[in-house]
Amino acid sequence: MRILLIEDDQEMRDFVTSELVTAGHEVTGCADGRDGLMLAATKDFDLLVIDRILPRLDGVGVVRGLRAMAIGTPIILLTALGRVDERVQGLRAGADDYLVKPFAMTELVARIDAVKRRNSFRQDQNILQVGDLSLNRLTQVANRAGHKILLKPREFRLLEQLMLNAGMVLTRTMLLESVWDYHFDPQTTLVESHICRIRAKIDRGFVCAMIHTVRGAGYRISVDPVA
């Protein structure tokens, strides 16, 4: 994927660049808002990673500028500011995701994959299918190999998120945000307990498990146990 990274902190930029290159992306770096806006507007990128605070034109300004020019390239905003209203402001300006520093690189990589997928994969299908597991989004009923599986509302939302991002890692934070709309870190095993409930419903009694725990990263649903 061709990624434009607009970040004024050079150390940070170098590190993120090397990490994303390792993850298989092609990265262009840029240190200020106005140049970044020009680059994003004139060259072809698959995704933009933009810091919130930049010289000359701040990150939200860049997002607004691009959206005003009807450029729909997916954008992830990085920020050292963590206020809830700032997050809302960033998303309202047109960003696709919002990540608060300090974050783990696995988090950024997972979010890049998810944002990319959200923009390329049809999100409005009524039936989601992964291997022999299917999920009807209208009736909220799952089916594995002909066995009907009833889900509670939250279990449905969790399974839906996993299946929409089938084959990709969803971090705990991503699940908390997308499934629960919690923008803080619960001190209990909230995500783990719910994952456990779903596993009991869809994996118990089957030879191969579909929900995989990716150590130090998150959860992934796929037929194949290895990513």
Partner 1 sequence: MTAPQQQASLFRMASFRLAVLGMLFSLIAAVVVFALIYEATGIAAREELAPIVAGDRADLLSDTQADGWPLAREIALAEAIGGHTYYELTNAAGQKLAGTTLAPHDWNHWSDVTRLEDPALPPGVEQIDGISVKLADGDRLFVGEDASVFAILNRRIALIFAVVFGLLIGLGVLASLLIAAYSLKRVRAISEASTDIVAGDLSRRIEAYGIDDELDVLTTGLNGMLETIERLVKKAQQVTSDIAHDLRSPLMRLRDRLVRIERLALAQGQAGIADELREALRQTEIVTSIFSSLLRIAEIEAGALSGNFVPLDLSALVCGVAEEFLPVVEDQGQSLELAVADGIWILGDVPLLIQMLVNLVENAIRYCPDGAVLTLSLTRMNDGFAWIEVADTGPGIPEADRERVFERFVRLDRSQNTPGHGLGLPLVRVIAVFHGGSVTLLDNAPGLRVRVKLPTVRRNEKLAVDSH
> At closest approach, how far in Å is the CB of 107 from partner 1?
11
Q: 166 or 195, CB closer to partner 1?
A: 195
CB of 133 to partner 1, least distance (A): 21
- Min CB(33)–partner 1 separation in Å: 16
Taking the CA atoms of 12, 14, 18 and 21 in sequence, report the sign of the dihedral they define.
positive
Given a contact cutoff of 8 angstroms between Cβ atoms, the answer to whether 131 and 22 are in contact is no
Residues 68/136, Cβ–Cβ less than 8 Å: no
d(CA 52, CA 49): 10
Interface residue list for partner 1 (CB under 8 A): 9, 11-12, 15, 53, 80-86, 100-105, 154, 180-190, 193-194, 196-197
| Minimum CB distance to partner 1, residue 4 (Å) | 20
At a CB cut-off of 8 Å and minimum separation 6, what does 111 contact?
76, 97, 99, 171, 174
